[in-house]
A and B are shown apart, each in its own frame.
Chain A
Amino acid sequence: MHLKTRLHQNVLYISLDGELDHHSAEYTRQHLDNLMGQSRAAQIIIDLANLKFMDSTGIGVLIGRYKKMKDRNVPIYISNPSSQAERIFKMTGLYSIMPKIS
């Protein structure tokens, strides 16, 4: 799993490149926490265009980050999910806390 970031107009873009499963979850979690923790951005957008695979473990990782950023009032948005990821997001209601943006 590779994480790429870009800060643009006070929005932190984080792109996930790879497979998000139980094996890569801990690494992804730590890196997201580092990136988000250092950031002073007003919003975060997690871009999934290059995410090749995700199972329900990904939901746990995302909800965990949401909880942390909620305390700082920084909203997180999801962009470019695969159809598979989208089905899991809808099934779990993730979009109600991390809306999808295009």
Chain B
Amino acid sequence: MSTKSKIEKPIIAGCINKMKLELPAHSLNESFARSTVAAFASSINPTLDEINDIKTAVSEAVTNCVVHAYNNTKPLSQSIEIIKIECELYETHINISISDTGRGIKDIENAMQPFVTTRADEERSGMGFTVMQSFMDSLNVQSREGSGTTITMQKFFTKETSNKVKQA
């Protein structure tokens, strides 16, 4: 006998598409993560700038998971922690949530300041959160030390993009 897998949440009204992605926190997957979210958003034909903004913000968030949350330098042969990416696409905006179960952020406010990095020795710029904030329309960071971080970002599309969806 087979059991049907349950859909966790009903699809929210107005939501065009929904995606859940789980990937091992290898740096190799950073490119895949940002390209996949960009492809997900592409279905409503956003402007190239909108796509690139989303791509950059996702890249920053996923890199934070690999570098800071898990500090992953393990070879591919070893099992590894997971990064979860959830996206919801609406005709007016996209919601993106990226979470890890890594070490968490002690002082979020400080971590979000420009040029703040805990890894200056590795030539990290400390601009990840600043880039996310400036390329997206909203950014929310929730974190608990020792149990992980979830960031949620929102990007609103231009009227031209939204209108194209309405006419489609």
What is the interface of chain A, defined by CB distance below 8 A to chain B? 19, 21-23, 25, 29, 53, 55-57, 59-61, 63-64, 82-84, 87-88, 91-92
Known A-B contacts: A23-B28, A56-B127. Give 19 more (CB < 8 A). Answer: A19-B31, A21-B30, A22-B30, A22-B63, A23-B27, A23-B31, A55-B128, A55-B131, A59-B127, A60-B123, A60-B124, A64-B123, A83-B49, A83-B52, A84-B52, A91-B127, A91-B130, A91-B134, A92-B115
Residue of B nearest to A82 (CB): B52
Asked whether, in the complex, the Cβ of B131 is within 8 Å of the Cβ of A21, the reply is no
Instruction: Name the distance in Å between B99's Cβ and chain A's nearest Cβ.
Output: 18
Question: Do B67 and A59 touch (CB < 8 A)?
Answer: no
- The A interface is mostly helix, strand or loop, or mixed, namely helix
Given that A21-B63, A57-B63, A84-B52 are known contacts, is A92 also in contact with B127, CB under 8 Å in the complex? yes
Q: Does B66 contact A (CB under 8 A)?
A: yes
A-B contact pairs, 25 of them (CB 8 A): A21-B31, A21-B63, A22-B27, A22-B30, A23-B27, A23-B31, A25-B123, A53-B31, A53-B34, A53-B56, A53-B59, A55-B59, A55-B60, A55-B128, A55-B131, A56-B125, A56-B128, A56-B131, A57-B125, A60-B123, A64-B123, A84-B52, A88-B56, A91-B130, A92-B115
Residues of B close to A91: CB separation below 8 A: 114, 127, 130-131, 134
C-alpha gap A47/B114 in the complex (Å): 26
Most central of A64, A83, A88 by chain B CB within 10 Å: A88
For chain B, which range describes its interface: under 10, 10 to 19, 20 to 34, or 35 or more residues? 20 to 34
Contact A63 B27 (CB under 8 A): no
| CB proximity of B145 to chain A, nearest CB, Å | 23
User: Are A29 and B123 interface neighbours, CB within 8 A?
Assistant: yes
Cβ-closest chain B residue relative to A54? B56
Closest to A88 in B: B131
* Nearest-Cβ distance from residue B102 to partner chain A, whole angstroms: 15
Inside 8 A of A53's CB, which chain B residues have their CB?
31, 34, 55-56, 59
Most A CB atoms within 10 A — which of B28, B49, B123, B124?
B123
Nearest Cβ distance between residue B58 and chain A, in whole angstroms?
9
